[in-house]
Amino acid sequence: MNAARAPLASAAASPIDVAAVRRDFPILAREVNGKPLCYLDNAASSQRPRSVIDAISRYYETSHANVHRGVHRLSQEATDQFEGARESLRRFVNARSSREIVFVRGTTEAVNLVAQSYARPRLQAGDEIVISWLEHHANIVPWQMVCEQTGARLRVIPITRSGEVDFDAFLGLLNERTRLLALAHVSNALGTVVPVERFIREARGRGIPVLLDGAQAVPHMAVDMQALDCDFYCFSGHKMCGPTGIGVLYGREALLEAMPPWQGGGDMILAVSFERTVYNALPWKFEAGTPHIAGAIGLAAAVDYLERLGLGHIAAAEQALLDYATDRLREIPGLEVIGTAPHKAAVVSFTVAGVHPHDLGTILDSEGVAIRTGHHCAMPVMDFFGVPATARASFAFYNTRAEVDRLVAALDVAREMLG
Amino acid sequence: MDLKDLYRDVIVDHNRKPRNFRPMPDADRHAEGFNPLCGDRLTLYVKLDGERISDVSFQGSGCAISVASASLLTESVRGRTVPEAEQLFTSMHQLLTRDDAAVDPAALGKLAALSGVRQFPARVKCASLCWHTLDAALHRDAEPISTE
């Protein structure tokens, strides 16, 4: 299935042609409320290129059967494509082995898997898990649950007014009871890129394993498991131009090997009798039941697409949009940007004096502009900045400067109407 | 879908200058309402003279629709009996959620300005939060009211 892939180096050598890229995404041609769609909610979920949609359709039209089971032709083809997708993902994040790539429903399930299968059997009352104030609820609640189950304590690294994780405070939180560090790679609510390398070095130097929530990082920058040297890395397909309902847990092989299965069922076993069950090898030990085969194949197509564009070019294009959007938004009287870290992904969270974010969302929608408003599943971040909610524009490589201009114009409409 | 149908002049005015926006230390009843989706939060206070609502006020923060709706509520239920207020709650619920609402807008006075909310399903909860909160206050529910 990988034979058709374009040679990466030559294809990635040219910068992104945004007009051509936009033609790859059928949904970008539609209208909302009589205006061309201006989709600026990519941190919630990105859109899909035709190649991903086609890969899923082609699979269902030509090759679908259950995987890892039949000797018949279709089952073998489905298995080859599914395991081929795993190898694509392995290469994409530069893991040592495809045994370290576990398919899950998404980042949330990946974090829960680690909380229940890695942390829960090891934690004792008084042990500590360290997270940061920036976290998405998906990297808070699973740890709260495991703390409740074990008597462990959750410790939270504070953030600064610019929205950066306080490294000195982090050092102060580490002690002999620290059992795990779980940290966002990129903040979904503010866009802060956390300098995770420093945190990983410090934690691993003390023998503390590290989990990274990479949901907002993987779509926008090249990530390398061997270079990062973290223990677990979690991400979702739907934020990186892939399908919903599929994601990846990367885990260091030695740790995954030592962990008990999370869910029981078919596919995760080698032999079952009523006396004893022998579990399957990695990574299938963690993939009970028929997997999301089409999702994995679609995700591999998304990886192909992103690699053809080049993650470096994607990051550069998005950074240029972020800089332009930040400058334009700051011209608006009464607009305050929440989250001003020097190193950010293409996310701008903001408030407008006198206009509630929820009203902004409705008024912008009437102009065809889709943004997220609310707490962004990061209520502690909102509490920290003393706001009930923010408006958030988040950009992808297929967005344009003209769309930033439309955002600014729509905000003027909102201010005129309600400000 | 016309924005002007949602943000009518009456609503914009009540958002900019909410009426009866004050605490009520001697309230007979009060209840809290919360919409976790957008962070709207309000406290509604009621003073009763027998069966009659002699005063009503609110405090809190929220979007224009939720603030204007609460402000309009305070103006329209003051002086009414508890059963009359409950009847108004039923009428408002219909106005906000049903295209075939058998409600005479004229009977609702200024509250009819909220009829445009129905075209914006994501915003119906903003407008109805204060009414559910009033219902809780009148029935002495101890738990805060949540739209979720």
Predicted confidence (pLDDT) per residue in B17-36, tens digit: 999 999 999 999 999 999 87
Q: Looking at residue A99, what DSSP letter applies?
A: G
Residue A121's contacts (CB-CB under 8 Å, 6 or more residues apart) are: A260
Scanning every residue of chain B, which has its alpha carbon at the shortest distance from the alpha carbon of A418? B12
Q: Do B15 and A418 touch (CB under 8 A)?
A: yes
Work out the pLDDT band at B105, boundaries 50, 70, 90: confident
How do strand A232-236 and strand A210-213 relate by DSSP bridges? parallel
pLDDT computed for residue A5 by the predictor: 43
Distance from CA of A62 to the nearest CA of B (A): 40
Q: Do A388 and B6 touch (CB under 8 A)?
A: no
Res. A330: pLDDT tops 60: yes
Please report, as a single letter, which amino acid is at residue B143.
Answer: E
Other CB atoms within a 10 A radius of the CB of residue B76 amount to: 17
pLDDT computed for residue B142 by the predictor: 54
Distance of CA B11 to the CA centre of its chain: 12
Res. A225: pLDDT tops 60: yes
Q: What's the mean pLDDT when you consider all of chain A? A: 95
Q: Residue A218's closest CA among A311, A140, A103, A119?
A: A311
Q: Residue A346's closest CA among A319, A328, A369, A326?
A: A319
pLDDT computed for residue A390 by the predictor: 95
Q: Does B6 touch chain A (CB under 8 A)?
A: yes
Distance of CA B63 to the CA centre of its chain: 13
Distance CA B7, CA A171 (A): 50
* Number of domains chain B is built from: 1
Task: Report residue A381 as tokens.
Answer: 């971040």
Across the range A320-344, mean pLDDT stands at 97
pLDDT computed for residue B141 by the predictor: 59
Q: Does A368 touch chain B (CB under 8 A)?
A: no
Res. A120: pLDDT tops 90: yes
pLDDT computed for residue A336 by the predictor: 97
> Which residues of A are catalytic, by number?
377
Which of A33, A359, A382 has its CB closest to that of B63?
A359
Radius of gyration (Cα) for chain B, nearest Å?
Answer: 14
Which of A33, A362, A388 has its CB closest to that of B6?
A362
pLDDT computed for residue A151 by the predictor: 98
User: In sequence order, which ranges of chain B are alpha helices (DSSP H)?
Assistant: 3-6, 9-16, 64-77, 82-97, 105-108, 124-138
Work out the pLDDT band at A181, boundaries 50, 70, 90: very high
Note down the domain range covering B49.
3-146
pLDDT computed for residue A302 by the predictor: 98
Instruction: Find the angle CA(B132)-CA(A390)-CA(B121) to the nearest 5 degrees.
Output: 40
Within the 6-45 window of chain A, which residues sit less than 8 Å (CB to CB) from chain B? 33
Res. B131: pLDDT tops 50: yes
Token pair 């009930």 is at which residue? A388
- What's the start-to-end Cα distance of chain A, in Å? 55
The domains located in chain A, with CATH, are 8-48+310-418 (3.90.1150.10), 57-307 (3.40.640.10)
CATH number at residue B40: 3.90.1010.10
Across the range B101-121, mean pLDDT stands at 86
Q: Which range has the worst mean pLDDT, A70-79, A147-156, B32-41?
A: B32-41
pLDDT computed for residue A8 by the predictor: 45
Distance CA A199, CA A197 (A): 5
Which of chain A's residues have a Cβ under 8 Å away from the Cβ of B123?
358, 362
Other CB atoms within a 10 A radius of the CB of residue A16 amount to: 18
Contact A229, A35 (CB under 8 A): no
**Which secondary structure element, helix H or strand E, spans residue A54, and what is its range?**
helix A50-62
Work out the pLDDT band at A1, boundaries 50, 70, 90: very low
Q: Does B82 touch chain A (CB under 8 A)?
A: no
User: Can you tell me the ipTM of this complex?
Assistant: 0.89
Can you tell me whether residue A231 is helix, strand or coil?
Answer: coil
Q: Do B65 and A359 touch (CB under 8 A)?
A: yes
Residue A281's contacts (CB-CB under 8 Å, 6 or more residues apart) are: A99, A270
SS3 letters for A352-385?
Answer: ECCECHHHHHHHHHHCCEECEEECCCCHHHHHHH
Which of chain B's residues have a Cβ under 8 Å away from the Cβ of A33?
1
pLDDT computed for residue A388 by the predictor: 87
Across the range B40-62, mean pLDDT stands at 95
Q: Do A362 and B120 touch (CB under 8 A)?
A: yes
Q: Do A356 and B1 touch (CB under 8 A)?
A: no
Can you tell me whether residue A307 is helix, strand or coil?
Answer: helix
Task: Report residue A50 as tokens.
Answer: 């035709």
Residue A112's contacts (CB-CB under 8 Å, 6 or more residues apart) are: A142
Q: Does B106 touch chain A (CB under 8 A)?
A: no
φ, ψ (nearest 5 deg) of residue A401: -65, -35
Q: Does B128 touch chain A (CB under 8 A)?
A: no
Q: Does B65 touch chain A (CB under 8 A)?
A: yes
Distance from CA of A390 to the nearest CA of B (A): 9
Across the range B128-142, mean pLDDT stands at 87
Which of chain B's residues have a Cβ under 8 Å away from the Cβ of A355?
64
Which of chain B's residues have a Cβ under 8 Å away from the Cβ of A357?
38, 63
Res. B125: pLDDT tops 90: yes
Q: Looking at residue A152, what DSSP letter applies?
A: -
In chain A, what percentage of residues exceed pLDDT 90? 93
Across the range B112-128, mean pLDDT stands at 92
Express each pLDDT in A6-46 by its tens digit. 444 444 446 899 999 999 999 999 999 999 999 999 999 99
Q: Which range has the worst mean pLDDT, A122-126, A139-143, A242-246, B97-101?
A: B97-101
Across the range A220-248, mean pLDDT stands at 98
pTM metric for this prediction: 0.92
pLDDT computed for residue B99 by the predictor: 80
